[in-house]
Chain A
Amino acid sequence: MQKLRRLMPLAAVAVLALVAAGCGSGGGGSTGGGAGTQSTSGKTGGTVTLLDAAGSVDSLDPGYWYYQTDYEELGQTTQRWLYSWKPKDNVPTPDIAQGPPQISNGGKTLTIKIKSGIKYSPPLQNQTVKAADIKYAMERCFAAPVGNGYAFSYYSGIQGAPSAPTSKVKDISGIQAPDDNTLVLQLKQPVGILANANALGLPCTIPVPKNYAAKFDNKSQSTYGQHQVFTGPYMIEGAGSGTVSKAGYQPAKLISLVRNPSWDKSTDFKPAYFDKIIIKNGSDVTVASRQILSGTSMMSGDYAVPPPAVLKEGLTTKKDQFQISPSGGNRYFSLNTTVKPFDNLNVRRAVAAATNRNALRQTRGGPAVGTVATHFIPPLIPGFDQAGGNAGPGYDFYKNPNGDLKLAASYLKKAGYPSGKYTGPPILAVADNTPPAKQTAEALQQQLKAIGMKLNLREVPHATMYSKFCEVPKANVALCPNLGWGKDFFDAQSMIDPIFNGKNIVPSGNVNTAEANDPKFNSRISAAASITDANKRAETYGQLDKDLTGQVYYVTWLWDNEVNFTSKNVKGVQSAFNGNAWDLTFSSLK
């Protein structure tokens, strides 16, 4: 449930139609392992500089990390997870774990053996990682002082897991560490995303030694992040003293990573080629893009695409420096089923039919930024092929990517508008006020005029759009044009459940913005979560996607691409797990 990469508001990131999208293969159903086809060999040594447009990570605490930038810049580089992700894999790889979870007790007990001899960075260089450290790490994710955003979604099936944030870190009976090398999870019922280790490939499983961290966690807001110890190939410069110093981290300015002296390459699958990684925040996107493309030893940071002129020029003259891949996310607009006229299925279908998805894609930059979507689950995620792949489930209202006004009129007639045009009052829509989202919303406003639908469009800052309007049911916003969702891992549960399950409707922070709440779908979605067989899961979620797409709670119009680029002397390797942002532990200098 990662938020799609946040865009630097100062930058105009609309991109011209330039290149064919790289996500046409549709290989969503693959669950195979292996290193993939992308070469991950590289040259050891050197310093690379990553240029960010925004302010980088929100927190230093591994228990808080949830966003793409968190994973790219600190999560994958400085810490080892119970399960991690090789660049092209869509299944997790045992990292601190020795192998996949051993399932017993009818799927209700997972036993995970962990490796010996993995050491923490200074000042705990003499202490090794124990199973109890992972138990504590998972427990602290339920504590309010840490503020984790996904533990309640993915770990609530563990016996004794709290249903609300705890004021302090509390023991959870279902997470057990019978010895230093064994972690046992006792579940209330089988949980597919724990059995397949997908949800164990998240930063909540980064080991945190209780004997060291408890004093930092025992505050109203944990300060462990500022004092953390590292297990990955890199650590924040100067943090060996036990406190992150200015040399290594200055909020919204700089992160400097150096090699972790405690890291033992023989126990890790990451090559970690760079000697040093510098992350500079707050760059102007236009300037930074040019600096990267014409400079040396630099990589693009936290912005989804470079500005149109730079991209056009770059793809013409410096194509080798670009990498464009599906991000595993989508973009859609919601039709609130509790607000008229979208309580009527035929009106929703008319809107889907009238939508020119090609034109909406053009507002973000055309084919370079992604593939026109035909259903919700994006490429690379199991269930994509089962839902129809690129062609989609075959609904008539999704057939023409340029829109079909005649079909829209026929649906409106079925909905009780004899003229084939909507004749009701204006419809409240709340959109982002920065480009390119603003342009998308305005294009949709124009498109819906053609079927008589007048959008009363309110444009507000991005964060306000979510937290005051679209994700607040009592705001009664009928249509939100600028929504997007990204996977947390390669399992469709993280795409379908939050968005379509009626049980997720809450007074604020409500990501089920359409307020989809059909009891039949709710029970099917909830039941799917406990399926542990990979093929059956993909089949079930694919079928759910097909059926939910038919209900048009949302009109999905784009499967996003990630557009990354480097200086000429850098070999960038993308992380499919992390929306194809860079994997800095596999990237290298040439």
Chain B
Amino acid sequence: MTTYIVRRLLWVIVLLFLVSAITFVIFFALPSADPAQLRAGRQPNPQLVEAIRHKLGLDKSLPVQYYRYMKGLVLHFDFGYSYQNNISVKQQIFDRLPATASLAVGAAVVWLVIGISVGTISAIKRRSLFDRVAMGGALVGISAPVYWLGLLSLYLFANDIGKIKIFPGSGSYVPLSEDPTKWFTSLILPWFVLAASFAAFYARLLRGNLIEVMSEDYIRTARAKGLRERRVVLRHGIRSAITPIVTAAGLDIGILLGGAILTESVFNIPGIGRLAYDSIQQSDLPMIQGTVLLGAFFIVMMNLVVDVAYAFIDPRVRYS
């Protein structure tokens, strides 16, 4: 197992290197704005543009620019400085990561609890009223755009613009370290909005898997041995049916840790997604590189975590 993990970690490094190279190439290959000119403002003096270009290192050849970036990153864990405001990319990312992590992890808890509960009950009570209502609701949940759902939740439940003033609205996010209660209440709406489509998808996925698993021979055997139905479902049924859920959850959480742009925008949560979006608009390559690498890092790491988790969940899986 250890060898497997080490090997995978080495591949993570290779993958991140490739991602950084591809991001770099895309930035310069596609028609993006000239960072030096953007920084120089309107009607800039040409010499000022050149001075800024020199200062940002943009007057060097592309391989040299990339080499310098990677050297800083590998040797000093230095992601460089924003072209737009000269602020450290690393500092910006670490400033914003807690907000995104709060959003992603909290939403994951919500969707896993709802998705697994609803999926399980629907599978057991197949074709019941609950099942039909739940699966119908899941279809709506999957179909509803996050941005629209966010606006709707604010218009209904936000304590400033909502009809029923229950939860703090947009812009109310405070860090956990500052005020845990406010942190929690400010994230209730975003968690549910972000979790809605995932919960719906997971419920449908688990329902389908569980129905299939519950008709397997070993389930019949378990029942024949006289095990209680609850134990059959929880111990033998769900354990087997949940494997695809673990895979999906790992990747989804990884993706969201790299930023949930729409949810962050609607609720004005200063996270990584919003930072990435703004950076792209401003052609701020160091910031784009930083956020893309962070997103890629979380995705590959969560993928690794999922693969390792298989070994514990599914007795058939062994790494050697």
Chain A interface residues toward B at CB < 8 A: 1-3, 9-10, 51, 54-55, 58-59, 66-67, 144, 147, 149-150, 152-153, 163-165, 167, 220-221, 250-253, 280, 282-284, 286-288, 290-291, 294-295, 460-464, 466-469, 471, 498, 504, 506-509, 511
The answer to whether A220 and B34 touch (CB under 8 A), given A252-B278, A287-B154, A498-B43, is no
B41 to A: closest C-beta gap in Å: 3
Min CB–CB distance B97 → chain A (angstroms): 13
Interface stretch (choices B47-55, B63-71, B193-201, B211-219): B47-55
Of the residues B31, B55, B160, contact of A295 by C-beta under 8 Å: B160
Contact of A164 among B43, B45, B85, B92 (CB under 8 A): B45
A145–B85 Cα gap in the complex (Å)?
12
Write the chain A residue with the least CB distance to B33: A463
- Residue of B whose beta carbon sits closest to that of A65: B41
Contact A144 B266 (CB under 8 A): no
| Complex Cα spacing A457 to B271, Å | 35
Looking at A164, A221, A290, the one whose CB has the most chain B CB atoms below 10 A away is: A290
Query: How far, in whole Å, are A294 and B161 apart by their CA atoms in the complex?
Result: 7
Q: Is the CB of A9 within 8 A of B85?
A: no
Task: Known contacts A147-B52, A283-B268, A467-B33; decide if A291 and B170 are in contact (CB<8 Å).
Answer: yes
Contact status of A284 and B266, CB under 8 A, knowing A250-B95, A460-B31, A468-B33: yes
A66 touches B85 (CB 8 A): no
A10: B residues at CB distance < 8 A: 265, 277
Interface assignment of B313: CB less than 8 Å from any CB of chain A: no
Which B residues lie within 8 Å of A280 (CB)?
A: 171, 268
User: Contact at A66–B171, with CB atoms within 8 Å?
Assistant: no
Q: Is the CB of A164 within 8 A of B47?
A: yes
* A465 CB to nearest B CB, Å: 8
Docked Cα-Cα span, A467 to B170, in Å, equals 34
A54 surroundings in chain B (CB, below 8 A): 278
CA distance A239 to B41 in the complex (A): 27
Is B40 engaged at the interface, CB distance under 8 Å to the other chain?
A: yes
18 pairs across A/B with beta carbons < 8 Å?
Answer: A58-B84, A251-B87, A252-B278, A282-B268, A282-B274, A283-B268, A287-B151, A287-B266, A287-B268, A290-B155, A291-B161, A291-B169, A294-B161, A462-B281, A466-B37, A468-B32, A468-B33, A509-B49
What 1/0 mask marks residues of chain B from 267 to 301 whose CB sits below 8 Å from any chain A CB?
A: 01010001101100111000000000000000000
A144 nearest CB neighbor, chain B only:
B51
CB distance from B312 to the nearest CB of A (A): 40
- Residues B43 and A291 in contact, CB atoms below 8 Å apart: no
Contact B85 A59 (CB under 8 A): yes
Residue of B41, B154, B283 with highest tally of chain A CB at under 10 A:
B41
Q: Is the CB of A291 within 8 A of B160?
A: yes
Residues of B within 8 A of A55 (CB): 278
- A144–B275 Cα gap in the complex (Å)? 27
Q: How far is the CB of A91 from chain B (nearest CB, A)?
A: 24
Interface string of B241-269 (1 = CB under 8 A from A): 00000000000000000000000011010
> Within the assembled complex, what's the spacing in Å between the Cα atoms of A153 and B283?
26
From B41, which residue of chain A is reached at the shortest CB distance? A149
B170 touches A287 (CB 8 A): yes
Q: When chains A and B are docked, how far (Å) is the Cα of A55 from the Cα of B255?
A: 24
Give chain B nearest CB distance to A124 CB in angstroms: 24
Report yes or no: B40 in contact with A509, Cβ–Cβ below 8 A: yes
A284 touches B268 (CB 8 A): yes
* Interface range on chain B (Cβ under 8 Å from partner): 35 or more
Asked if A144 and B87 sit within 8 Å, CB to CB, the answer is no
If over half of A's interface residues share one DSSP class (helix, strand or loop), that class is named, otherwise mixed; here it is loop
With A and B bound together, what is the CA distance between A251 and B275 in angstroms?
10
Given contacts A51-B171, A463-B281, contact A165 B275 (CB under 8 A): no
B171 and A9 within 8 A (CB): no
| B86 contacts A by Cβ under 8 Å | yes
Shortest Cβ-Cβ A-B pairs, 3 listed: A149-B41, A463-B33, A164-B47
Task: Please pick, from A165, A167, A463, A504, the residue contacting B283 in the complex, using a CB distance under 8 A.
Answer: A463
Taking the closest CB of chain A, its distance from the CB of B168, in whole angstroms, is 12
A467-B46 in contact (CB<8A): no
Pairwise interchain contact A509-B55, C-beta atoms closer than 8 A: no
CA A467 to CA B52, docked complex, whole Å: 14
> How far, in whole Å, are A286 and B275 apart by their CA atoms in the complex?
20
Once A165-B48, A283-B171, A286-B151 are accepted as A-B contacts, the answer to whether A149 and B42 lie under 8 Å apart by CB is yes
Question: Which chain B residue shows the least CB distance to A221?
Answer: B86
Cα A461 to Cα B154 in complex, Å, equals: 30
Q: What is the bound-complex CA distance between A2 and B44, given in angstroms?
A: 12
Cβ–Cβ < 8 Å partners of A294 in chain B: 160-161
- Asked if B134 lies at the interface with its beta carbon under 8 angstroms from chain A, I say no
> CB-CB < 8 A to A164: which residues of B?
45, 47-48, 51
Which residues of B (51-96) have their CB < 8 Å from a CB of A?
A: 51-52, 55, 84-87, 92, 95
| Known A54-B278, A280-B268; 6 more pairs at CB < 8 Å | A144-B52, A149-B48, A165-B48, A252-B274, A463-B33, A468-B31
If A290-B161, A294-B161, A468-B34 touch, whether A252 touches B281 (CB-CB below 8 Å) is: no
CB contacts (< 8 Å) of A290 on chain B: these are 155, 161
CA distance A504 to B43 in the complex (A): 8
- Name the contact of B270 in the complex, choosing from A149, A221, A252, A471 (C-beta under 8 A): A252
Q: Mark B141-179, 1 if CB is under 8 A from A, else 0.
A: 000000000010011000011000000011100000000
Contact B270 A282 (CB under 8 A): yes
- Asked if residues B40 and A149 are in contact (CB atoms below 8 Å), the reply is yes
Contact of B46 among A464, A469, A508 (CB under 8 A): A508
A residues less than 8 Å from B304 (CB atoms): none
Give chain A residues whose Cβ lies under 8 Å from the Cβ of B55: 144, 220-221
Alpha-carbon separation in the docked complex, A294 to B155 (Å)? 12
Whether B33 lies near A165 (C-beta < 8 A) is: no
CB distance A1 to B42 under 8 Å? yes
- Select A466's contact among B33, B47, B282, beta carbons within 8 Å: B33
Task: Report the nearest B residue to A499, measured CB to CB.
Answer: B43
* CB of B271, distance to nearest CB on chain A (Å): 10
Q: Give, as a whole number of angstroms, the nearest-CB distance from B153 to chain A.
A: 11
Q: Would A9 and B42 count as touching, CB distance under 8 A?
A: no
Closest to B30 in A: A464
Closest B residue to A222 using CB positions: B86
Closest Cβ–Cβ distance, residue A51 to chain B (whole Å) = 7
Is B38 interfacial (CB-CB < 8 Å)? yes
Bound CA span A144–B39, Å: 12
**Do the beta carbons of B37 and A509 come within 8 Å of each other?**
yes
Contact of B45 among A165, A460, A461, A466 (CB under 8 A): A165
Closest A residue to B32 using CB positions: A464
From A3, which residue of chain B is reached at the shortest CB distance? B42
A461 engages B47 (CB within 8 Å):
no
Tell whether, in the assembled complex, residue A144 and residue B48 are in contact, meaning their CB atoms are under 8 Å apart.
yes
Q: Let me know if B40 and A147 touch, CB within 8 A.
A: yes
Partner of B38, one of A59, A460, A467: A467
Q: How far is the CB of B273 from chain A (nearest CB, A)?
A: 11
Q: Are B283 and A464 in contact (CB under 8 A)?
A: yes
Q: Please tell me which one of the listed residues A221, A283, A461, A511 contacts residue B281 in the complex, with CB atoms under 8 A apart.
A: A461
Give the residues in chain A near B40, CB-CB below 8 Å. 147, 149, 509
Cross-chain contact A9 with B281 (CB below 8 angstroms): yes
With beta carbons under 8 angstroms apart, the residue of A167, A282, A508 that contacts B49 is: A508
Closest Cβ–Cβ distance, residue A578 to chain B (whole Å)? 15
Contact B170 A149 (CB under 8 A): no
Of chain B, the residue at the smallest CB distance from A162 is B47
Across-interface contacts of B42 in A (CB, < 8 A): 1-3, 66, 149, 509, 511
In the bound complex, what is the Cα–Cα distance between A66 and B287 (angstroms)?
A: 23
